[in-house]
Amino acid sequence: MALRIRKGDLVQVMTGKEKGRRGKVLRVDPEKNRVYVEKVNLVKKHQRPTERNPQGGILEKEAPIHISNVMVVCPKCDKPRRFGVKFLSDGSKVRCCKKCGEVFES
Ligand SMILES: [Zn+2]
């Protein structure tokens, strides 16, 4: 679980109408296996008029997409990649690109 997609990861959408789009993970919903990706899968939400915004309006918000539909983008390959696990000298695990070995942690 700790080695899956995390908040802040750059991911690419692999399927569906937004295929190929990239964005940062805003939020992960581990129970539903869904992620919210910045500017991806936007849905329009109607806002009620408020005192500050008496007209109301339409707000665009990210809707969650299934975690299996996105892949982490390797910054070195600049391509969506599967990630593997690397052990550091202190014994901790990090995620790395399966292709080039680039470590994904920042
Ligand atoms: Zn790579």
Domain span at residue 22 reads 10-50+57-80
Please write the tens of the pLDDT for every residue from 29-65: 999 999 999 999 999 988 888 888 888 888 899 999 9
The reply to whether 96 falls in a domain is: no
The candidate with the shortest Cα–Cα distance to 43, out of 23, 63, 13, is 63
The count of structural domains within the chain is: 1
79 Cα–ligand 1 center, Å? 7
pLDDT of residue 1 exceeding 50: no
The reply to whether 61 falls in a domain is: yes
The reply to whether 66 falls in a domain is: yes
Phi and psi, residue 67, nearest 5°: -60, -25
The reply to whether 95 falls in a domain is: no
The reply to whether 99 falls in a domain is: no
The reply to whether 42 falls in a domain is: yes
Alpha helix (H) residue ranges in the chain: none
Please write the tens of the pLDDT for every residue from 49-105: 888 888 888 889 999 999 999 999 999 999 999 999 999 899 988 999 999 999 987
Residues with CB under 5 A from ligand 1 (ion): 74, 76-77, 97, 99-100, 102
* pTM metric for this prediction: 0.83
62 Cα–ligand 1 center, Å? 28
CATH code, 16: 2.30.30.30
101 Cα–ligand 1 center, Å? 6
Query: Could you give the CA distance from residue 98 to residue 83 in angstroms, rounded to a whole number?
Result: 5
The reply to whether 88 falls in a domain is: no
- Token pair of 20 as six digits: 């190929």
Which amino acid does the sequence have at 102?
E
Q: CB-based contacts of 86: which residues, under 8 Å, 6+ apart?
A: 93, 94, 95, 96, 101, 103
